[in-house]
Structure formats: C-alpha cells, structure tokens
Amino acid sequence: MKKTDSAVLSAPASSKRPKWRRKRFLVNRRYQLKMALLAVALVVAVVVLLNFSLFSSAMRETETTLSIAPQFEEYLRAQDRAQFLLILLASLIFVIGVFLVSLLETHKTAGAAVNIRNRMDEIRTGNYRARVNLRKGDHLEDLEHSFNGMAEALGDQAWQEIEILERLAARLEEAQERPVPTEITLEIRRLAEARRRAVG
C-alpha cells in the first residue's frame, strides 16, 4: 500500500463543519439542568437582594411623602404595587432568560461531548476513519483537534501493520527451502485483510 493511499484513507471525509441544526436541546439532561439551575440559583439570590433594596427604598420614600401629604396615600400605594409588579415581572423574565442561555451554553459542551464519545466508540470497534466534526460555536475544540490527530495516527499505524503482515505472508509463500503450512500464510493474510477493512 502506498503512503499516499494511507494518507488519503486516513484523512477526514470532510473538513467542513456540519451545518445541521440542533434537534435536541437537552443532550445531557442531568448535566445541563444541573448547571442551568445552579446559574439560576445564583441569579435569584442576587435579584432578591437587589429587589429587596429597591422595595425598601421605595417604601421609605412613600412613607416620607405620606407624612407630608397623607391625602395621596391611595395613589402612592397603587404606584408602589404597580412598581412592585413591574420589577417582579422583569426579574422573572431575566431569570428565565438566564435559564435558557445556560441551557444553550451547556448544550454546546454536552453536544460536543456526545459527538466525541460516539467517535470514540467507532475507534474502539476498529473504525479508524472516524473523525470529530463539531458544529460552529461548540465548545471542546481542542479535544476535536486532539482526537482527530489520534485517529489519524492510529490509521497510519494500522497501515504499517498491514504492510508488515503482507510482506511476511509474501516471504513465507516465496520460501523454497522448507514447505510453509498454508494455514500460516492464510492466517497472516486474514489479519492483514481485517486491518485493511478497518482503515480503508
């Protein structure tokens, strides 16, 4: 087998990143929900403290105004309730936004991890042509390059083993001094063919 053939067969089928869209938002449900809920918990703690500070300040201003002009009590109380509801609604929208953004960001990690794990399963079964192609924006890009380099190295090593096995089989068949059992050469060629199917 020529070196150029080995390089061609060990190269990725396509160097372009896939353009398909995400079909499942929750790839690793446990990990994604855990991280999203952790982010939400931190945001909720900050929002509660901020809102408490805002409401306390608003109530103090209302009480100060009522001490001067008690006839505006109904108006001021209604204004406080409206302000309270508005801030509460804005806080709820903000928390939901943080939750969704956290899911999206964790998806970029979880989806990449699933992709790499699937390609590792292919390598384990002997498919050294497997390559990781992450989507644009996905995390773990360093692992993508490392994995593809490993797969290429394994493919090159497999080609070297194939060449050695085929040379041994040919030398055994050409030996004239003493007869070589046919099953030996057949076994060597069987191993070489199995490796050839794995990488090519």
Mean pLDDT value across residues 48-77: 85
From the list 10, 12, 3, 13, the residue with the least C-alpha distance to 200 is: 10
**Number of C-alpha atoms within 13 angstroms, CB side, residue 131?**
20
**Is 177 or 77 the better-scoring residue by pLDDT?**
77
Q: Is the pLDDT of residue 92 over 90?
A: yes
**Tokens in use for 182?**
């046919």
Hey, what long-range contacts does 46-52 have (CB within 8 A, 24 or more apart)?
47/91, 47/94, 47/95, 51/87, 51/88, 51/91
| Single-letter amino acid code for the residue at 69 | A
Query: Where exactly are the structural domains of the chain?
Result: 3-11+21-199
Q: Is the pLDDT of residue 197 over 80?
A: no
* Least confident stretch, 9-13, 52-56, 136-140: 9-13
The percentage of residues in the chain with a pLDDT greater than 70, rounded to a whole number, is 81
Quote the crossing angle between the two packed helices 141-174 and 3-10, to the nearest 10°.
140
**Is 4 or 139 the better-scoring residue by pLDDT?**
139
Q: Alpha-carbon distance 50 to 40, whole Å?
A: 15
Question: What is the reported pLDDT for 89?
Answer: 94
Under the banding of pLDDT at 50, 70 and 90, the label for residue 198 is: low
Question: What is the reported pLDDT for 182?
Answer: 72
Give per-residue pLDDT as tens, 1-53. 444 344 434 444 444 444 445 567 777 888 888 999 999 999 999 999 998 88
Question: What is the reported pLDDT for 200?
Answer: 64
**Is 95 or 74 the better-scoring residue by pLDDT?**
95
Question: What is the reported pLDDT for 56?
Answer: 86
Q: Which residue shows structure tokens 């809102």?
A: 51
Question: What is the reported pLDDT for 37?
Answer: 92
